[in-house]
Structure 1
């Protein structure tokens, strides 16, 4: 049956309902005319007969409309129910995901993401992000492993077990829930690389911020602008090159050796953990529970990334922050202010000019500074119309046609001499954030006051994940710093 044929019954129902509603409206109009013509007097015999006929038809038509509406509600309800159920013939959870073929894992995972049972709480950008990860097969990302974990953790038995874990001190599992938990633990073990934290329970994939957190869902501008990779090992390994140098030659002249210099940047991941206290009611409706859990897990994680992707220090078990990494570079060297403690228009022009042209013209190029530094640059518009046109615009500020968000983990406007990093400009695709797929939580049943050791009436989750970051193309950025003398 074609889609057009499928749509015909719905189309006919809509026409019948519309016709009934139009007739109800016409009857009301006709009765209003009869009443108006009577002018408050009693109706004559003909008018009374017409009134009675209209009244009888009105009751019939109103019952007809109610029947149409009730039928439509039942049909819509059944469609919603059907869209959240899988028949035995197409149940993606019917088999152990460890034994499925790669193609079956992909097809079933996609079906879960698209279903309202699995993905109803997800935004479109989050669905797109999960689907992208599922399709990825590289040395760093095994989408098939993520798909197996998705099928195991989104299984209704594991979801119900996870809800019990998240809200109960002594959960009692059904045999099906116990098998689902064991299945997830075995898949987690297969995904382990190196020495990771053990124990805890895997967060279901479709509420896991290491997988579903996207630029639209983050207030962290570095994460939003940068290149983000979801990986299934402990270290992202890539290749980088400045490109091949081309040249013109005379006829029959030998070519130059234009072999590019190939770099092999690596971005290791580090454990990020957080404690999430809560005193909320956890409902048993999965979409509502999933949305609450997703928000709670993502908020603190996103804020931690906003800090460490700015100022994180390499070698300190945290991601290498963008500003920290650029400040440590000698090639390209930092650009100092013309006058210590004073940001002037020539400094901004000079910084922009030092950025290679191919990076200035890219859509992923942006500026970044603290609010205090941005306010100083805004005031340059009183003497320089370029700043007036760009950075004083409403919505997201722009400078020289490029986005300029604020990041208050960066240094404020300095006073006097120093070496503070003040302003970054560059192509943010040269900074990579590697998130290892999979967050784990442990339930803490009771929190105690730190002063008197008495229960506070709160519970909590201890959550951990692995994430790393680093500059993979230093030449794509330029950093303005204060003058030291």
Structure 2
């Protein structure tokens, strides 16, 4: 039976005394000693062959067990010490770069890489964006990475760094609650800095003036499909731009064909078009009677909601049927005005029947029908009429009868009550649209501005109402960039 290999000086003279073990100098030595203790205890156990240990063996076992607990505690302490030394060496070494304050420098003087890194750091930080939903953060990050002829992520990044600066945020809270805010020196410099960046980004006269809304509460930048109740905006192709007009390329596609061996290739070059979508000023007046909170996340969430609600409702109407010279092209109004492809009329005036729906679906080219972004759109009244077709045709009695978002022929079918109701008699009103909604583009110019209105007055007696308000404006445009992606069903005129 082996004796304990513990140093003699560590063996207590008194069996009842606590052992006083010599400490190991290194983690490796302590770990090696633990292995030796396990080996000795294994020998004792095997020699006992399942029987109780005799008195001498039991004493050795107890001593080994006491040392094992000591060595395990020692190993944990040595590991912590080594980890601390490694951490200090890493952070004090030449390879460590201290965390940079993203707002330490004027964003106008930073190079492109620094703008990107610092603006991304702000979006990733819990302090700067904890009021945002995950998809809103993803939207901002995507814009910061975008660098095209229409969208400069660098410009958005500079504006973000300027408007999300803590000094500008506190100044903006004062701006939003007072006609004559008193700024600290730091706040004054931050407001001036934002004004200069905003002026540099201005293209038209109507793009200047007012106070810039901080980027991370600006609906023209953070509004997403999930955050909008406007189905056209949710389904359409949405581009956030930093100029006044979106310019793109469109084509019907290349025509492919098979040829015999060594046969001359045909000219299958596509016709390239360059559609343009200009932006127009959208403005709104936002009355409020709430107290402006001093906690930024709470303030940011309230402001973001207030700014987005009216803006989203305006777009829901105008993206459907706007026809004015200073408005976006409403999808339904623009489709109704097309002559190629032509509208499809009801078979019988004032009566929507199953063959009308089949004909409309069949008229849409297959390449658009099979896309996941294809959808239907009509008023609630028209959809209710189509639901009732299920009493005579089973194709209208499966998906579209469900309580959730309805589907027709496997494609989403939201409702839009800015469209015409169920027709009665003859007419020309557009009733039902189907198509790939990515063929309709909404261009939002990054950056919303507001001005504070300190007191609202009753229209009848001219007395104060106890309310205040914000006058807000932005630029947005929309238009069909692929007319063949849609088909429109209209009433019969005769």
TM-score band w.r.t. shorter chain: 0.7 to 0.9
Q: What's the secondary structure of 2:398's corresponding residue?
A: helix
Asked if 1:409 is matched to 2:409, the reply is no
Partners of 1:110 and 1:248 in 2: CA distance:
49
C-alpha distance in structure 1 between counterparts of 2:480 and 2:285, whole Å: 29
**Structure 2 counterpart of 1:470:** 479
SS of equivalent residue, structure 2 residue 469: strand
CA shift digits 1:111-140 (9 cap, x unpaired)? 101111110100001000001111100000
Q: How does 1:175-186 map to 2 (within 5 A)?
A: 175-186=185-196
How big is each residue's C-alpha offset from its partner over 1:431-465, in whole Å with a ceiling of 9 and x where there is no partner?
00000000000000011111111111100000000
- The TM-score, its normalising length taken from structure 1, stands at 0.81
- Choose the corresponding residue for 2:211, options 197, 201, 208: 201
Deviations 1:24-73 (A, max 9, x none): xxxxxxxxxxxxxxxxxxxxxxxxxxxxxxxxxxxxxxxxxxxxxxxxxx
Residue 276 of structure 2 is matched in structure 1 by 266
Q: Which residue of 2 aligns with 1:312?
A: 322
| Contact 1:270-1:318 at 8 Å conserved across structures | yes
What is the DSSP-based 3-state SS (H/G/I as helix, E as strand, rest coil) of the residue aligned with 2:180? coil
> What CA distance in whole angstroms lies between the structure 2 residues aligned with 1:222 and 1:393?
22
Query: What's 1:142 paired with?
Result: 152
Q: In structure 2, what is the equivalent of residue 119 of structure 1?
A: 129
Q: Deviations over 1:169-225 (max 9, x none)?
A: 321000100000000011001111133243210000000000000000000000000
The alignment of Structure 1 onto Structure 2 pairs a total of residues equal to 398
Structure 2 CA distance, aligned partners of 1:116 and 1:449?
A: 42
Distance 1:133 1:154 in 2: 16
Report the equivalent of 1:386: 395
Tell me if structure 1 keeps the 8 A contact 2:198–2:208: no
Residue 394 of structure 1 deviates from its aligned partner by 2.7
Query: Is the contact between residue 434 and residue 469 of structure 1 (CA under 8 Å) also seen in structure 2?
Result: yes
Instruction: Please give the secondary structure, in 2, of the residue aligned with 1:217.
Output: coil
Residues 71-470 of structure 1: matches in 2 within 5 Å?
89-313=99-323, 315-470=324-479
Give the alignment's Cα RMSD to 1 decimal. Answer: 1.0
**What's the TM-score once normalised by structure 2's chain length?**
0.80
Residue 96 of structure 1: SS of its match in structure 2?
coil
TM superposition shift of 1:390: 2.2
**Contact kept? 2:287, 2:468, Cα under 8 Å:** yes
The aligned counterpart of 1:37 is none
| 1:88–1:94 contact (8 Å) kept in structure 2 | no
In 2: Cα distance, 1:149 partner to 1:169 partner: 24
* Structure 1 position 411, deviation (Å): 0.3
1:424/1:478 contact within 8 Å kept: yes
User: Do the aligned partners of 2:202 and 2:208 also contact (CA within 8 Å) in 1?
Assistant: no
Looking at structure 1, the residues matched to 177 and 385 of structure 2 have their Cα atoms a distance apart, in angstroms, of 49
Gaps of 5+ in 2: 1-96
In the other structure, the counterpart of 1:47 is none
1: CA distance, partners of 2:145 / 2:318: 29
